Amino acid sequence: MGTLLDDPRWHGRIYSGGWATGAGEEIISTEPATGEVLGRVGAATPADVHKAAERAAQAQVDWAARPYQDRAAVLRRAARLFEEHQEEIETWVVRESGAIRPFATVQTIGGGADECYEAAALAAAPYGELLRSQEQRLSFSRRRPVGVVGVIAPFNAPVVLAIRAVAPALALGNAVLLKPDPRTAICGGVTIARIFEEAGLPDGLLHVLPGNADAGAAVVDDPQIPVIAFTGSTRAGRAIAVAAARHLKRVHLELGGNSALVVLDDVDLEKAASAGSFGSFHHAGQICMASSRHIVHASIADDYAALLAQHADALPVGNPAGGDVAVGPIIDETQRDGVHRIVTESVEAGARIAAGGTYEGLFYRPTVLADVPLAAPAYAQEIFGPVAPVVPFRDLDEAARLAAGTEYGLSLGILTRDVMKGLALAERIPTGLVHINDQTVNDEATIPFGGVGDSGNGSRHGTGAANLESFTEQQWVTVRGEVPHYPF
């Protein structure tokens, strides 16, 4: 079996009607752990985006008219290619995004392969329903592809956060323009282009256009792209929503989070601290669902913070490509400095560092903050780094108030031996995802995923129903046996 990314045609290119030279300057991909240059990709400009959108709109018509079996076959081949090239893709994810190998496996198999298999089944799913009518006619609704879907994906989980929109959109008869983050343009862009190229996707249906903010703005503004699927920061999501509204476009926004892990006083402390450590420190905390606030019963808060600090201190930090480490690098200096600013300002506000709080290069030590004031940045803001703020609560009313006291609403974890008490508490906290007796970082290809409030506009990804709603339009159709008589 050959390799997927050894093909030299992609170097310095965008993928749009084959591998082509973008109008922008090349993007240099570097390994955050070492600073080593990994490769170069083409950069798309707004002109490239508009040209790609026109070509995609033309190609989509034939694609939508094909039998569903044809679309399903391409998606199944894509899934198998993710499996066959698992090790190679994982290595690129490790090196380009700084992920540890298990997280890269989730990207490749749990993301790439599983999402494509689910999308293949979606192609054959029922796409309408019969409706009752007061008239003597057949009345039904059916789902039609929207046409061209624009997908803008982030750096932190570059494969899964792109493919979860790309795959179902293609399966339902759409064409796709994908703009990956420039920092992960190879593993989150070139890889997906090569997968579908090898899977036999007809020309013109998938365009992979790495670029800067102006390329993303062009995707949002282009009149031939009626639906935008964006994953990224709340600030950027708001700007996209405003721009899309001017064109009456539909947007699917999966944004930031400040997710609470609520720890009740009946837990096994060691298990709770282990779960909390994973929730905050996995992938260096660069996960939208990360356990960002540890809200712990006052009777155990000090012991929990001390155990959490022990876990943090024991985690090996380093180059995930060069050894057995638990936490890799922050993606770049800007992100690292933002994390350290939040930690520093929180300490100035009264928080106590129980572990971490230091860094070397892009490697930030897992950090535990105890005695965190509610006004401290580490409690109030999304951190997107390996930081675990611990705040005590005294009763369930206070726990519910603290957990719900954020503009975000993505994920919630509740740790307790009393499952029914946990479910009752969850009812009081607005959030898109709830995990009883687990930390907050969970995702599967088969579930509805999305947040509320500043975390997004609902479950727009996963399962047949969510994907049908996201990437099709509903059309009402009636049929009569003959033209009726009208008194006009």
27, 43 contact by CB (below 8 A): yes
What is the DSSP secondary structure assignment for residue 324, as one 8-state letter?
-
User: How is residue 400 written in tokens?
Assistant: 């519910």
Respond yes or no: is residue 254 known to be catalytic.
yes
Q: Return d(Cα 95, Cα 110) in angstroms, integer.
A: 19
Q: Return d(Cα 320, Cα 94) in angstroms, integer.
A: 6
Q: Return d(Cα 259, Cα 291) in angstroms, integer.
A: 5
HSE-CB for 127 with a 13 A CA cutoff: 21
Q: Is the dihedral of CA 148, 239, 183, 79 positive or negative?
A: negative
Nearest Cα to 168, choosing from 187, 151, 190, 189?
151
- Count the Cβ atoms, other than its own, within 10 Å of residue 475: 11
- Of 90, 115, 118, 254, the catalytic one is 254
Q: Return d(Cα 159, Cα 98) in angstroms, integer.
A: 13
CA R_g for the chain? 24
389, 356 contact by CB (below 8 A): no
Strands 387-393 and 291-297: parallel
- Of 116, 118, 197, 288, the catalytic one is 288
Q: Return d(Cα 145, Cα 475) in angstroms, integer.
A: 10
Q: Which residues are catalytic?
A: 254, 288
